[in-house]
Amino acid sequence: MYFSISKLDNGSITSPKGFLAGGVHAGLRYAKKDLGMIYSQVPATAVAVHTLNQFIAAPNQVTKQSIAVEQKIQAVVTNSACANACTGSRGMEDALTMRRLAAEKFGIPEHYVAVASTGVIGEFLDMEKIRQGIAAVVVEATQEGAKGYEKAIMTTDLIEKYTGYEAEIDGVKVTMGGCCKGSGMIHPNMATMLGYITTDALVDSDALKKVFSLITDLSFNQITVDGETSTNDMVLLLANGMAGNEILSEDHPQWPVFASMLTQTAQDLAKAIARDGEGATKLIEVHVKGAATDQAARILSKQIVGSSLVKTAVYGNDANWGRIVSAAGHANVPLDTTKVDVMIGDTVMLKNSEVVPFDEEIAKAYLQGEVVRIEVDFHMGDGSATAWGCDLTYKYVEINASYRS
């Protein structure tokens, strides 16, 4: 089936109809914006994925409770600087208070509010500053509103991360936008990562939940910066139906259009996080093919891109393919080690597990680029997957050695 999806030049969470956003400096950080809100003019069908860390933060628990009532969310409140994680009963009370204050601001039921936090673990929120910040936020259906929110959710991020797409479905324009934050403690299922995707499409809730779970495994769960999984990870998808299309489900003839938009949006955001890894200078993309299954390929690709030795070799412009096969070899996946191919860029280094002579200078020149692509073919089946990560630099140690200071 042919269909056309267009990427928006400045796509964001306010690109779809009916979504507004904004951010303020509430004083949780020294100077930068640190509290943001998203608002939909009508309740939106909501699905979310959360951290698998057993120490799940209070705001995540509250958001789960909210979605469980009707699977509807109309407002989101997020703070940076303090994760409100490992904060016991007071942390839960504070997260519930954030939810209540946001609900009162917009005159909506409390369970229509999602709450998120990011920052230092084990510290309590300054609730007076939270209260003042929620009151001060002005949400707008503008690029400025989206930008304010993007800045408010950042911690060690160097850049705002956003994207957007549009397509025609049922003869009307359907739009999708997204933003996220994440730079360190990134090894999703999920990580110190918050992601938000908005769309004005009308979508069946069960179909939305199913496709979002699948696409998360092909995007956010295929990135790694440092192998650390945080307490606060969440990706939230809101679909408010204001585009005016017929309800989308897996039986709809244009369901693949929506699924493709969602895949591209999620992968854009995931790659932006990997590219902005703390101290990173390069994005690493590992493509595995010929694995026994897609699941095996996902495990292998993430094992390779997450290897500290692979990451440091890329940083050092060293075409050390031995580190690639070594990383694959200790993944929890059975392999036939007699017929493996390895390429870095266009340079073949291993063919059927036999060494192929290559020009070191050409390989080094390729590794000096901002994007490094590694391809490994295991010749065992039709399984394939891609994972994204970044190089490991001296700057990463510097940033994390002084995170609280």
- Distance (Å, whole) CA 45 – CA 112: 10
Helix, strand, coil percentages, rounded to 5, for the chain:
35, 25, 40
Tokens describing residue 392: 């490991």
Report the run of H or E that residue 62 belongs to, with start and end: helix 58-70
| 345/313 Cα distance (integer angstroms) | 14
Residues with a known catalytic role: 192
* Contact yes or no for 195/271 (Cβ under 8 A): no
Triad 40, 46, 50: Cα angle to 5°: 120
SS3 of 99-122: HHHHHHHHCCCHHHEEEEEECECC
C-alpha to C-alpha distance for 112 and 102, rounded to whole angstroms: 10
- What are phi and psi for residue 20, nearest 5 degrees? -125, 155
Q: How far is CA 163 from CA 9, 134, 152, 236, in A?
A: 8, 25, 17, 15
- Contact (Cβ atoms closer than 8 angstroms) between residue 134 and residue 28: no
Structure tokens of 132? 């003042």
Identify which of 276, 295, 283 has the alpha carbon closest to the alpha carbon of residue 155: 276
Token pair, residue 379, equals 């010749």
Q: Torsion-angle region of residue 119: left (phi > 0), alpha (psi -120 to 50) or beta?
A: left
Q: Do residues 323 and 315 lie in contact, with contact meaning Cβ atoms separated by under 8 Å?
A: no
